Amino acid sequence: MDPTGLDLPPLAAAFVFGLLGGAHCIGMCSGIMSALTFAVPPSMRSPMRLSGLMLGYNAGRIASYMVAGALVASLGTLLTLSAELRLALQAFAAVMLILMALYIADWWKGLLKVEALGKRLWRHLEPFGRRLMPVVQVPQAVALGAIWGWLPCGLVYSMLAWSLAVADPWRGAALMGAFGLGTLPALLVTGMAARQMGALIRHPATRSVAALTIIAFALWQLWALLPTGSAPLAH
């Protein structure tokens, strides 16, 4: 079953979703990436070391997404998901994506209420992350990234709705892994060139273009879910 309702293979669609959501990842996580980069002592801040740490952070983060995807998809195995409910979950994911785009462009901040749902869990996890600072070794970076992956994020939550529709832990994990890989380029660039990227990322035009692109992708999903859309609902 294609949880996106699109003609794209599910993992390819999840990867594209991550790419388009990269602007939100940059806006939300660029401060974290910058702090992690500049927390490394100057004498140890070689390109090789920083590259290893950035990859470590993101490997841990993506691993957490995959665990979350497997857990949420496991719930789907306990539920009887009708075709109508699967359709509703797919539509919900698309609407979440539109709300995310509005948030990225700073046109509407209502999605902050959704992200607030995960703050209770984050309050318990965040102190463990602090104990790993400053990070100077790759294993530390992987561990911190694994904690960071549970940071409240509406983009991740909308992707988890797709994982629930999959109703298969392995496929749910793979879907979230593909999504995480899609977000990787934006966060790696931010981590390695934090100061240079800051002004460009904060520019209203950059954020607006990213938001409009995401909205177009979400509308494409919704169109595909209509009876007259280009792609029928997969069972």
158-169 confidence digits (pLDDT tens): 788 778 877 789
Q: Give the whole-angstrom CA distance, residue 81 versus residue 88.
A: 10
Amino acid 34: pLDDT: 67
- Pick from 171, 183, 196: which is nearest to 10 by CA? 171
> 3-state class of 9 per DSSP?
coil
Distance of CA 230 to the CA centre of its chain: 27
- Pick from 172, 20, 171, 159: which is nearest to 93 by CA? 159
Q: Would you say 58 and 184 are in contact if contact means Cβ atoms under 8 Å apart?
A: yes
CB atoms within 10 A of CB 75: 15
Phi, psi of 45, deg, nearest 5: -90, 55
For a pLDDT cut of 70, what percent of the chain falls above it? 79
Amino acid 139: pLDDT: 92
Question: Which pTM was predicted?
Answer: 0.77
pLDDT at 15 over 80: yes
Q: What confidence tens digit (pLDDT) does each residue in 114-139 have?
A: 777 777 788 888 888 888 877 888 89
Q: What confidence tens digit (pLDDT) does each residue in 84-121 have?
A: 777 787 788 778 778 878 877 778 877 777 777 777 78
Q: For 119, how many CA atoms within 13 A lie in the half-sphere containing its CB?
A: 6
pLDDT at 25 over 60: yes
Helix axes 83-104, 204-225, angle to 10 degrees: 170
What is the rounded average pLDDT of the residues 140-157? 88
Q: Tell me the average pLDDT of the chain.
A: 77
- Pick from 164, 160, 156: which is nearest to 1 by CA? 164
According to DSSP, residue 133 is labeled P
Higher pLDDT, 233 or 57: 57
